[in-house]
Amino acid sequence: MVTRNESATGAPGAPDIDVVVVGAGFAGLYLLYRLRGLGFPTKVIESADDVGGTWYWNRYPGARCDIESIDYSYSFDPELETEWQWSERYATQPEILRYLGHVADKHALRRDIEFSTRVEAARWDGGASLWRLRTDRGDEIRCRFYVMASGCLSLPKALDIEGADRFAGEAYYTSRWPHRSVDFSGKRVAVIGTGSSAIQSIPIIAQQAAELTVFQRTPNFSRPAKNGPVSAAKKAAFDANPRAYREAARMSGAGVPREVPMVRALQVSAAERLAKYEEAYESGDLLALSGTFTDIGANPEANETVCEFLRGKIRSIVRDPETAEALCPKNHFYGTKRPCIDTNYFETFNLPHVRLVDLRKDPIRTITEKGIDTASRSFEFDAIVFATGFDAMTGAIVAVDIEGRDGVALARKWADGPKQYLGLMTSGFPNFFTITGPGSPSVLSNMVVSIEQHVDWVSACLVHMREQHLTTIEPTPTAEVGWVQHVNDFADITLFPRANSWYMGANVPGKARVFLPYVGGVDRYRKTCAEVVSRGYLGFAFDGPGGARCSDGVIRRVQPDVAIVLEAIEELGVPALDTLSVENARALTVVMAAERPPGPQVGEVVDAALPGAAGPLAYRLYRPTGAGPHPIVVYFHGGGWVLGGRDSDDPFCRDLCVRSGAILVSVDSRHAPESRFPAAVDDGFAAVRWIAAHAEALGGRPGQLAVCGWSAGGNIAAVVCQLARDAGGPRIAGQVLVTPVTDCDLTRESYVANGEGYGLTASLTRWFWDHYADPADRRRPKASPLRAADLSNLPPALVVTCEFDPLRDEGAAYAAALAAAGVDARHLPCRGQMHTSLPSVDVIRSAAAARAEIGTALRRFFGVSTPAAIES
């Protein structure tokens, strides 16, 4: 029973206790320890009869951690690190449970844990500013703060197999294994599922069972764990400086210290790739393969090299070719469903009494009294083991009937996916925290590191509230929407959303298909949480005797890959171009370009020259695959009329060629300051005229010519359209202006807001203009096309602008002015992007959707409606 005398006042409407925590696993135990130490009366409610959480319930044969135990352990109590020695590299479930029992004993935690009790409902009482919890014992507990530390993988998925309750033999669930030992000797056993739990238990069950049949719906990637004693090297690395080791874990991507890859898989030779994969394979480290190259998680082609490497291993282990092939994952990318490490998993299928049933070919029809009927066969079993997984990340939370402000049910609020701020809180539910909730790194990290970070954050928040005399905290809707967007933006630049995984909620019928964890990494996330606090708890609203306060806003508005690129530029200490001589600036852009991904393959690339306004101009022609003739797009590169050439936007041109199905002719123009205004636009116009006149010879379709340009190239493209109109030709079918320079006024709001910190600076823009044109010339429409007296009768236009670009507002103004003049003009504003996003093919993946829109627009200009054949 909960005692009521813990209340500070004991008055009606007063809380019984400050904090109630649900769950006595890694999270609940540390929370209790921390809050108790800070003087917050705290009670933990736990449905099991002892501590352990997931390690209490998941006692199936072979259950162990697959993050090394040195890493998968608490850091808050340095004494633990010397008094507890792990017996194996990957500890078994009983050992981890003993560890948690030891921690509970050492810190006398059990006295504040109410075991064998389940919280069934929780209601926010706005009048009294407290939560009223109801337990399955019929108690009501009133608390100021309510924390769900209920685990990400704790609520078993409801069985979705017809007839599951009909089976008369022994039925076991890996997630709810009996506390007695189970003996399968001499029995015919079925295992349904091939996730982590199955992959760990199958080899052990096979040692006992007379017959073992594995029912597999989706084969999984797994490799040997190479378990054994804790490695001497690992132990030495830890012992050398445990505090530094822990700090490195906190500032790593996945909560385990490791080197960060610097090279793309597709940048190196196949032999080099293979060597890296072999090394990672042999390491037995779950995270090693994803950490071999930078692009494994994002680039399908790069990922496929890992997949094929692992399939090769499976084929080399499993003797029966048909079984081997069935065990090879082919419908998801490596890492997009939780990969596994194992001990003799694939080898088990070589045993004569073990067989695999491929449910993709022969699905389960029903479970019967005696066994399992598939579409084509009837199997009889003495025991069935269901290793069918969990309602991950949200299941255990919404299993409690939680009602926030105004009677809103959490289950209803989250019906289309969890709406959370930082994975810690949800708006409309004051003083309600989730430890490792959806929208935090959680299951994509070493859970213990993420748990400690959340517990520390929540504890510090409660101390802040106490010091500031604040009673309630909740996130604002603005902050929450912004965070959910950021979580999705991050997921969308990876391959994760393409898999039907529990990360996506896809394993539970009817569950919203939303990416649940935060893929940005433990380090990035930790810095974000700290920044939220340092900016006055940005996005949180507080109330209480200390006064109402709220610093509202969105913590991350820039696209995640844009942020990564900006961080890399800062880390590399790349000098600002406008601090360099023109010669050095040009040399630097060439060096930077050498490192980028090459862009997609096209049918043919031809370098040649054409006559410009004052001499030959180099151009590069990109021809699509497939029989011509093709429409032609004349492309003008960026570089502020000063830098760049036909090489500088090469990946973008390839991408545009593939997406548009058109020939791209990327034309150089004379550069400033050697050739100032109007040399560049005169060259541009001369090039368009020549290309239009020679379209057929170039493989083009006469009359089907569009122009496209990025940045200063967008300026040239826009001016060329005006010159062609005024000269009565050539006919231009459309213009795509990508973050174009359209005006010389550098005082617009976007220059103020985005003038610093987003790649192209206001000062660099000034530097370009100074090199290009005299102040009087800049105002002429040939330099500032926005200033043309007449914008009518221009070709249809797509104007792309980026939110974090100094040029944003002049691009938007040009789109609006064209539309006002009756031109068929569309404005495509790109959220969270910067000036260089669009041309950064395979680097700024979040801009791929905008690149696809450009392809579609070009196709439309040419009257083509078929979609481009390109992966995002």
Whichever of 298 and 367 has its CB closer to ligand NA7, that residue is: 367
Nearer to ligand NA7, 175 or 666 (CB): 175
Shortest reach from residue 389's CB to ligand NA7, in Å: 3
To ligand NA7, the closest distance from the beta carbon of 362 in angstroms equals 12
What does the alpha-carbon distance between residue 99 and residue 93 come to, in Å, rounded to a whole number? 10
Phi, psi of 158 (to 5 degrees): -60, 140
- Taking the C-alpha atoms of residue 269 and residue 250, their distance in angstroms, rounded to an integer, is 33
Preceding omega of 418 cis (within 30 degrees of 0):
no
Binding mask 219-248 for ligand NA7 (x = CB under 6 A): ------------------------------
Q: Which residues between 349 and 368 bind ligand NA7 (CB under 6 A)?
A: 359, 364
List the interface residues with ligand NA7, window 368-407 (CB under 6 A).
Answer: 387-390
174 makes contact with ligand NA7 (CB under 6 A): yes
Closest approach of Cβ 310 to ligand NA7, in Å? 16
Number of residues engaging ligand NA7 in binding (CB under 6 A): 22
Nearest distance, CB of residue 71 and ligand NA7, angstroms? 15
- Which of 73, 135, 194, 445 binds ligand NA7 (CB under 6 A)? It is 194
Stated as kind and residue range, the H or E segment containing 849 is helix 848-861
Closest alpha carbon to 64 in 88, 82, 48 = 88
Residue 507 lies near ligand NA7 (rule: CB under 6 A):
yes
Q: How far is the CB of 156 from ligand NA7 (least distance, A)?
A: 8
Compare residues 364 and 610 and give the one whose CB is closer to ligand NA7: 364
Q: Is 196 in the site for ligand NA7 (CB under 6 A)?
A: yes
Beta bridge partners of 136: none
> Which CB, 153 or 470, lies closer to ligand NA7?
153
CA dist., res. 511 & res. 501, Å (int): 12
- Applying CB under 6 A, the span of 131-139, 190-198, 230-238, 785-793 interacting with ligand NA7 comes to 190-198
Q: How many CA atoms lie within 13 A of 436 on its CB side?
A: 30
Pick the closest to residue 663 from 626, 693, 689, 638 (CA basis). 626
Nearer to ligand NA7, 40 or 177 (CB): 177
Residue among 306, 283, 296 at smallest CA distance from 253: 296
| Nearest-approach distance from CB 53 to ligand NA7, in angstroms | 12
| Residue 756, C-beta contacts closer than 8 angstroms, at least 6 positions apart | 762
- Minimal distance, residue 149 CB to ligand NA7, in Å: 17
Stretch that binds ligand NA7, among 194-202, 206-214, 283-291, 770-778 (CB under 6 A): 194-202
Determine, following the binding rule CB under 6 A, whether residue 64 of this chain makes contact with ligand NA7. Answer: no
- CA nearest neighbour of 791 among 819, 827, 818: 818
CB of 713 to ligand NA7, least distance (A): 47
Cβ 219 to ligand NA7 shortest distance, Å:
8
Is the CB of 195 or the CB of 624 nearer to ligand NA7? 195
Give the tokens for residue 225. 């764990």
Site for ligand NA7 in 128-167 (CB under 6 A): 153, 160-161
Mode of pairing for the β-strands spanning 663-667 and 616-623: antiparallel
**What is the nearest approach in angstroms of ligand NA7 to the Cβ of residue 103?**
21
Nearer to ligand NA7, 63 or 798 (CB): 63
**DSSP alpha helix (H) spans, 89-231:** 93-106, 196-208
The residue from 193, 335, 505, 640 that contacts ligand NA7 (CB under 6 A) is: 193
| Residue with token string 């009869």 | 49
- By CB under 6 A, residue 197 contacts ligand NA7: yes
The phi, psi pair for 574, rounded to 5°, reads -65, 125
Q: Taking CB positions, which residue lies at the least distance from ligand NA7?
A: 195
- Residue labelled with tokens 């096309």: 785
Instruction: State in angstroms the smallest separation of the CB of 392 from ligand NA7.
Output: 7
Q: Give me 396's structure tokens.
A: 């255990």
Judged by beta carbon, residue 358 or residue 452, the one nearer ligand NA7 is 358
Are the C-beta atoms of 372 and 379 separated by less than 8 Å? yes
Which of residues 196 and 213 has its CB atom nearest to ligand NA7 in the complex? 196
One of 28, 41, 101, 195 touching ligand NA7 (CB under 6 A): 195
In angstroms, give the least distance from the CB of 688 to ligand NA7.
Answer: 54
Burial of 365 (0-12, 13-18, 19+ CB in 10 A): middle
If the CB atoms of residues 384 and 470 are measured against ligand NA7, the closer one turns out to be 384
Which of 103, 198, 672, 706 is close enough to bind ligand NA7 by CB under 6 A?
198
Token representation of residue 207: 């040692």
Q: Phi then psi for 841, rounded to 5 degrees?
A: -65, 135
Kindly state the smallest distance separating residue 857's Cβ from ligand NA7, in Å.
39
Q: Of 807, 690, 720, which Cα lies nearest the Cα of 760?
A: 807
Residue 566 sits at φ, ψ, to 5 deg, of: -65, -40
Neighbour count for residue 564 (Cβ, 10 Å):
17
Shortest distance, position 194 Cβ to ligand NA7, whole Å: 4
Q: Which member of 192, 563, 686, 720 binds ligand NA7 (CB under 6 A)?
A: 192
CB of residue 181 vs ligand NA7: minimum separation in angstroms? 20
Structure tokens at 482: 């912004």
Which listed residue (106, 107, 217, 355) binds ligand NA7 by CB under 6 A?
217
Q: Which residues make beta-bridge pairs with 371?
A: 380
Per-residue binder mask for ligand NA7 (CB under 6 A), 299-338, x = binder: ---------------------------------------x
Listed as own residue / partner, the contacts of 38-43 with beta carbons closer than 8 Å and 24 or more positions apart are 38/459, 38/462, 38/463, 40/145, 40/462, 41/6, 41/8, 41/17, 42/17, 42/18, 42/112, 43/2, 43/6, 43/17, 43/19, 43/112, 43/113, 43/114, 43/141, 43/143
Pick 154 or 305: Cβ nearer ligand NA7: 154
Q: What is the 3-state secondary structure (H, E, C) of 230-293?
A: CCHHHHHHHHHCHHHHHHHHHCCCCCCCCCCCCCCHHHCCHHHHHHHHHHHHHHCCCCCCCCCC
Which residue in 57, 238, 502, 861 binds ligand NA7 (CB under 6 A)? 502
Q: Select from 69-77, 192-200, 255-263, 799-807 the region that touches ligand NA7 (CB under 6 A).
A: 192-200
- Minimum CB separation of residue 350 from ligand NA7 in Å reads 21
For ligand NA7, the closer of residues 26 and 622 by Cβ is 26
Q: Is 290 in the site for ligand NA7 (CB under 6 A)?
A: no
Going by C-alpha positions, the residue among 41, 40, 46 that lies closest to residue 27 is 46
Chain residues binding ligand NA7 by CB under 6 A are 153, 160-161, 174, 192-198, 217-218, 338, 359, 364, 387-390, 502, 507
